[in-house]
Structure 1
Amino acid sequence: MALHKRHPVGYFKCSRGNCRTKSLISRAAGTWFEGVKISFPHVFYIMYCFAHRFTREGIYRENYVSVGTKLSSATISDWYSYCREAVVIFQLDHQEFKGKIGGPGKVVQIDESKFGKRKYHKGRRVEGHWVLGMIEDGSEDLRLEVCSDNVRSAEVLIPLIRKHVHEGTTIRTDFWRAYECLPEYGYNHEKVNHSDPDNPFVAEDGTHTQRIESHWRVVKRFFYKDNYNNPANFADVIVEFL
């Protein structure tokens, strides 16, 4: 097998017998770099920018790559999509490998939050996406799911909970009516009433959801440069955060 140098990574060609008539094989075949049409320095630079969440303007402003032509807007968008797809595939496979959280004797706090912005920056109505959050006490394994059709009914929330949380778990939530049927699915259900004027954050028996609620600020800070209302890749960015 002989190695032949050719832009950008070279290729292999077998010189034995009938192999001489076969196609050349790129060294990048089957790798992240297969089919790359831009320079390797630009590939590494875009990966760096994606990891640091640079905007398109930031990519142009901080571009230290002097080889090749200037990156086009379409190229940047495509490579950001490639990077995000790789992250999503890894995270979903990793999450499936780890399995569900909770179990008998364990507590999982659950809450939903709206990701969005007030229309025209006025009023109380928020346009955006409902996200369900779940985290086990004593664990950093945060689970997030975007509510399908932007609905937080029992028909939407319960299947998501069953997907991530073992039966027999003690689940702590607020008084949102969609959670009322949790005992029917084998969960112990404890609630905190945020409308209680005396104990709005911690119930008399100690039940609270403060841990999952505190995570919303961190998650939303991750989105501060993005448009919450853009539905195109919102679910993927949620996975990217995880």
Structure 2
Amino acid sequence: MKKKNEEKEENNKNYFYEQEVHKKLYTTIKLPSLYELYPYFLDEDEAINYLLNMNILRKYEKCPKCNNKVHYENKQKRYHCSWYQCKKSLSIFQNTIFYKAKLPINKILFLLYEFLKKTSRDSAAVTVGVTPFTATFYYKKFREQLSIYAVDNIKNNLIGGKNETVEIDESYFCKRKYNKGHHVNGIWVLGGIQRGTKKIFTIPVEERNKETLLYQIKKFVKPETRIITDFWKGYINLKDNNYIHDKVNHKKCFKVKGTDNHTNTIEGIWNGLKMNIIPQHRTRKYLFEHLLEQQWRINNKHKNL
């Protein structure tokens, strides 16, 4: 009886720890107040000036083709080369989500603000004054940009390192058939979190064998990192690949007594991810970009945007 009571207490502690992790990590990103930004949401020219001042839209002083001076035409929102033989023309929105947009820039900016606030698409559509279809379209576009950014910056966002600890685990993401039947279209996701910085990585994996897991861990975790996992056989070769490997046997306990060996933090991450990614998006088509969105939110939650 004593052992059972101890196990129950430990399970309860583990559950509340995961909930606490979820609360700490899934806070809203630090944004300027609506009061500060509202003037830019009302007027397109004000929004464009704001984006130019924030260096989100690029300013050109010289033509990238001939290196001559350019002049800006406010009506067309374009830079034109002053040399008559060049006639190069550049949109200020080039290479941004605003390029060739049919929606006014101030409304796109407002939708982006609502997206960062984690406002639902329907609520954002009502607030901004657009159709739900338009809000859905731009929310998807924002996620695509986050995905591109994440993929392009993998090497600059490695976690761990010497004297650092990273918890690693896998979790199964799936949806139910007709939202009520048996689980279908399940996808395994590998993830890790660095203690201290609380930075994470997540990546869907086709298999959980040692070759696949090691390949992905090497992509996201620096060498000489102390890695804590469960006893899954896929992690068996971490010690042979310049990692310090500690394990927790979840059949016996959630935390090894007298040590800090546990994977409760990453378990809390799974809990949060599954609360924020609805079952309809847990498919091969949508899961990756939604994981990257949540990863970006967690890794940038202390930054002022």
Give the distance between the partners of 1:26 and 1:158, measured in 2 at CA.
44
Is 2:305 the partner of 1:238?
no
- The two structures have a TM-score, normalised by structure 2, of 0.62
User: Secondary structure of 1:110's match?
Assistant: strand
* CA-CA distance at 1:3 after TM superposition: 4.8
Greater RCO, CA 8 A, separation 6+:
2
Is 2:116 the partner of 1:51?
yes
Matching residue's letter, 1:84 = R
Is 2:98 the partner of 1:40?
no
For the Cα contact (< 8 Å) 2:150–2:292, is it kept in 1?
Answer: yes
Give the distance between the partners of 2:255 and 2:169, measured in 1 at CA.
14
CA gap of 1:146–1:23, structure 2 versus 1, over 3 A, is: same
Give the distance between the partners of 2:150 and 2:142, measured in 1 at CA.
12
Runs of 5+ consecutive residues of structure 1 not aligned to the other structure: 65-69
Percent identity over the alignment is 28
* CA-CA distance at 1:185 after TM superposition: 1.8
User: Secondary structure of 1:114's match?
Assistant: strand
Give the distance between the partners of 1:106 and 1:30, measured in 2 at CA.
37
CA gap of 1:163–1:5, structure 2 versus 1, over 3 A, is: closer
User: Secondary structure of 1:161's match?
Assistant: helix
Equivalent residue for 1:88?
147
The aligned runs of 1:61-72 (5 Å cut-off) are 61-64=126-129, 71=131
CA gap of 1:213–1:26, structure 2 versus 1, over 3 A, is: closer
Give the distance between the partners of 1:189 and 1:72, measured in 2 at CA.
48
Give the distance between the partners of 2:243 and 2:93, measured in 1 at CA.
50
Is 2:272 the partner of 1:218?
yes
The aligned runs of 1:1-242 (5 Å cut-off) are 3-6=72-75, 9-13=76-80, 17-18=84-85, 22=87, 24-64=89-129, 71=131, 73=133, 75-103=134-162, 105-119=163-177, 120-122=179-181, 125=183, 127-147=185-205, 149=206, 151-196=207-252, 200-204=253-257, 206=259, 207-224=261-278, 227-242=280-295
* CA-CA distance at 1:18 after TM superposition: 4.4
For the Cα contact (< 8 Å) 1:13–1:25, is it kept in 2?
Answer: yes
Give the distance between the partners of 1:219 and 1:137, measured in 2 at CA.
18
Bigger helix fraction: 2
CA gap of 1:212–1:102, structure 2 versus 1, over 3 A, is: farther
